[in-house]
Amino acid sequence: MVEQLTMVSLEEQLLLNSFEKVFMGAAGSSSGGYVAVAHFSSPYVTVYPWSGSGFGTKIANPSTLPKSEGYGVSFVPDGSAIAVAHNSSPYVTAYPWSSSGFGTKFANPSTLPTGNATGVDFAPDGSAIAVSHNSSPYVTAYPWSGSGFGTKFANPTLPTGTGTGVAFSPDGAAIAVSHLSSPRISAYPWSGSGFGSKFANPSTLPNGDGYGVSFQSDSSAIAVAHVTNPFISAYSWSGSGFGTRFANPSSLPAGSGNDVDISPDGSFISVVDQTSPYISAYPWSGSGFGTKFANPATLPPGRPQGVSFSPDSLALAVAHIGSPFLSIYPWSSSGFGTRFANPATLPPELGTSVAFLE
């Protein structure tokens, strides 16, 4: 698909083919934090306290809401801000964050993203924020500080289609965009000056439109979820860009990949997709995929759109279409544990992205 998508067709694509990520959480070991989910229907973003025991009481909504359906959410790594990617102008909305919850909305960037936003991510040192969206240039990035958005960075060599997800590498040296149309993933060096010259495409491309991207925590691998068998592709990664594509997992995801995450400890990888059981998880190592873990006893109740491991790799969160719209599982080397109880106040509609803060 090479044409620009409208808001409605983007939603359809996300629902039919579709689709960030700092997590707090851990079964029995985390001291406390927050979990945020972006979703359809007002207030478009919902945040809860989170601990090893599960969800706390929902945080009060921001006084100024995002303008429309949320498609991405991210906390700045130091916990001082939260950002939401959404469909209507200004396409990205950011707030100060503290133990009191949402602060007063930051001013919009002076140069807005050009279309409906699908994903958002902060650089690991908190010095930049990037937004993927459905109109050229398909990805937009800004300096970030305690004052909010800075002057937009110059555009990179453009991805070839609608941006569906964006991620900075954990070492801060690269940024990648999953997108529609070949090569389906584009990556660039990153520095304080913004985008560098685009890395060469991987020698073996993903087989279909990309819908989510994740780097390994030591920046030695990169993975992309996509719509065509094998539904997930992973590559070695270095300062030179893409390396050799890893062999496919022996048991593939059941359908079109919507999002992917490599655990922070580098030991696991998970992809969510369009077909039951909706989520697949595997051991991960320098050799690639291990044998698929057994499905969770309680499956996500509808097509998931976002997935994230916790920072300590002891929990796994899924944002999805069916109520309760957000499911979180304990995670261990044995795989999925018993799903945590739902929050007392559910997100109001389809969950698209999940982000946690410790």
pLDDT digits (tens, 9 = 90+) for 130-140: 999 999 999 99
Residue 354 has pLDDT above 50, yes or no: yes
**Residue 1 domain flag:** no
pLDDT at residue 323, as a whole number: 96
3-state helix, strand, coil in the chain (%, to 5): 5, 40, 55
**Sign of the torsion angle spanned by Cα atoms 93, 97, 11, 137:** positive
Identify the CA nearest to 77 among candidates 333, 347, 311.
311
Mean pLDDT within 180-202: 98
CATH code for the domain in which residue 56 is found = 2.130.10.10
Q: How far is 351 from 273, CA to CA, in rounded Å?
A: 14
pLDDT at residue 32, as a whole number: 57
Which residue range forms the structural domain that includes residue 17? 7-357
pLDDT at residue 6, as a whole number: 32
pLDDT digits (tens, 9 = 90+) for 35-56: 999 999 999 999 999 888 899 9
Q: How far is 100 from 95, CA to CA, in rounded Å?
A: 12
**pTM listed for this prediction:** 0.92
**Residue 2 domain flag:** no
Backbone angles phi, psi at 268, to 5 degrees: -145, 160
Identify the CA nearest to 194 among candidates 141, 150, 270.
141
pLDDT at residue 31, as a whole number: 39
**Residue 90 domain flag:** yes
pLDDT digits (tens, 9 = 90+) for 249-285: 999 999 999 999 999 999 999 999 999 999 999 999 9
- Could you give the number of structural domains in the chain? 1
**Residue 26 domain flag:** yes
